[in-house]
Amino acid sequence: MKPINVGLLGIGTVGGGTFTVLQRNCDEITRRAGRPIRITVVADKNLELAKQVTGGACRLTDDAFSVVNDPEVDVVIELIGGYGVAKQLVMQAIANGKHVVTANKALLATNGNEIFQAAQDKGVMIGFEAAVAGGIPIIKAVREGLTANRIEWVAGIINGTTNFILSEMRDKGLPFDTVLKEAQRLGYAEADPTFDIEGVDAAHKITLLASLAFGIPVQFEKAYIEGISKLDAVDIKYAEQLGYRIKLLGIARRTPEGIELRVHPTLIPAKRLIANVEGAMNAVLVQADAVGATLYYGKGAGAEPTASAVIADLVDITRMHTADPENRVPHLAFQPDAMIELPILSMDDVISSYYLRLRVADKTGVLADITRILADEQISIDAVIQKEPSDGEIQADLILLTHQTREKCINAAIVKIEALGVVAGHVTKLRMEELGK
Ligand code: HSE
């Protein structure tokens, strides 16, 4: 049967993995797809590298636009990244009636509405399984496996670099900077690690998952983003003593008032399976009304795990590309004319439990002053621990865990607590999620 012809843009880590896996598993993939999938042309600035990886098995060019304009190419794989030339190439490929597979979460989280609309208008498909949690088929699961359900929330460890850093900090008691260097040496971090450690990469991914889960437009600009660069190792230690692990979570939750869309370090009970996802692994927990909780775990990055997702999209496109566009699976799980605008809540209106750490003078009445402030804000305390002051010190660490409250109430209480003369410096605030029903 006539092969489907693929043009590959970018033969770095994931592009190389895609080439290798397609070649190695060629027979098995063809049996599934119904016809061979053949990379006929690769575009990369580094032609020497492209030659090494492909071994002369296909045409090479340093002009990516020649690939998206090539009438012989049926599907374009975009693995260049970023929002600049990658966007031009994707839009040009769509305009030329080509299907697109991309791992570019940044592009889709910021420009997805325009890209999906253009694809819809042209009757082409955009596969983006590789954009969220690498090799874990989470997009397929949310878009197709859970279609019976009303999804309540999604919470994911969707950045391997930060999960590696947090795991190492907890396990080895090492400071953030030391572990970040190790993560870069191992190749986990993006070229600019800021996107990883400041939560931007995770926010791109949870933005896409929120759209798939709730049928809302992509709204990255409304996501709340807080990374791990300011996380103090002492809080990882205290959290552990209290029975919690700290993870960088992407959270998307449906509430009666709107959608919570947020990324931040989060205390999770250590007994939860997701709290035990360590190293660079990813996991996504989805709570839905019929099925209950389902957990998806695997490698969120790397050459072959991400290639696995890219090729799964190629197979889907190969199977579906002769189907009428209206009979295909919608890009964001819901039919385009059935998407709804739900408000994304500001952090002030998010409801969570909190971990507070403060440094206080070890003397009578301090705790009473603090608990009074919390009571005035209608905040109920779940647990209080005061650490013994170290030898020769007159101040002690006080840790408070609260029951659920609105973020604006905890912020108001913190302002008043920090104004107390007996409290030194700032209060450290971390959010806590039970992640149970
Ligand atoms: N840099 C990402 C991570 C991998 O650390 O998970 C690609 O999304």
Strand, helix or coil for residue 207? helix
Both 109 and 188 in one domain: the answer is no
Both 171 and 291 in one domain: the answer is yes
Q: Is the distance from the beta carbon of residue 251 to the nearest atom of ligand 1 less than 6 Å?
A: no
Please provide the DSSP assignment of 140-161 as one string. Answer: HIIIIITTTS-EEEEEEE--HH
Q: Which residue has the tokens 């699961």?
A: 141
The letter for the amino acid at 251 is I
64 C-alpha to ligand 1 centroid (Å) = 24
117 C-alpha to ligand 1 centroid (Å) = 27
Residues belonging to the active site: 205
Both 10 and 87 in one domain: the answer is yes
Structural domain includes residue 343: no
Structural domain includes residue 344: no
Q: Which residue has the tokens 């992640």?
A: 435
Structural domain includes residue 437: no
Q: Is the distance from the beta carbon of residue 195 to the nearest atom of ligand 1 less than 6 Å?
A: no
Q: Is the distance from the beta carbon of residue 79 to the nearest atom of ligand 1 less than 6 Å?
A: no
Q: Is the distance from the beta carbon of residue 70 to the nearest atom of ligand 1 less than 6 Å?
A: no
The letter for the amino acid at 80 is I
Say how many domains are in the chain.
Answer: 3
Q: Is the distance from the beta carbon of residue 281 to the nearest atom of ligand 1 less than 6 Å?
A: no
CA distance 287 to 343: 20
pLDDT tens digit string along 129-175?
999 999 999 999 999 999 999 999 999 999 999 999 999 999 999 98
CB 146 within 8 A of CB 257: no
Q: Which of 102, 138, 159 to mutate to test the pocket of ligand 1 (most atoms within 8 A of CB)?
A: 159
> Which residues constitute the domain of residue 257?
138-299
Strand, helix or coil for residue 403? coil
CATH code, domain carrying 95: 3.40.50.720
CATH code, domain carrying 366: 3.30.70.260
426 C-alpha to ligand 1 centroid (Å) = 32
pLDDT at 336: 95
Residue 316 contacts by C-beta under 8 Å, 6 or more apart in sequence? 125, 127, 329
Which is nearest to 325 in space by CA: 336, 315, 314, 339? 336
82 C-alpha to ligand 1 centroid (Å) = 14
Lowest-pLDDT choice from 117-131, 187-201, 311-325, 402-416: 187-201
pTM of the predicted model, to two decimals?
Answer: 0.96
pLDDT tens digit string along 1-56?
899 999 999 999 999 999 999 999 999 999 999 999 999 999 999 999 999 999 98
Both 150 and 294 in one domain: the answer is yes
CA distance 407 to 412: 9
